[in-house]
Amino acid sequence: MKKNYSQAILLISILSLTIAFLWIYLSVHFAAKKTEKPILTQEEIKVLNPDLDEKVFEELAKRYH
């Protein structure tokens, strides 16, 4: 019985490519998920005042008009 080596080579190459792409995908995925969380200072955590200083906007409007 004569074996068909071309089909075996095709199957092995398809499996090898599938494993290679899966390996690359998982490596990138795990590297992307492994990000360090930043350590924030008190100045960065402080609550901002939502009130706008209207004087500054009036001075800017006077400069450009």
Domain boundaries, the chain: 5-64
- The residue that leads in pLDDT, 51 or 29, is 29
- The residue that leads in pLDDT, 65 or 27, is 27
* Mean pLDDT score, 24-38: 88
| DSSP states along 3-21 | --HHHHHHHHHHHHHHHHH
Measured in residues, the chain has a length of 65
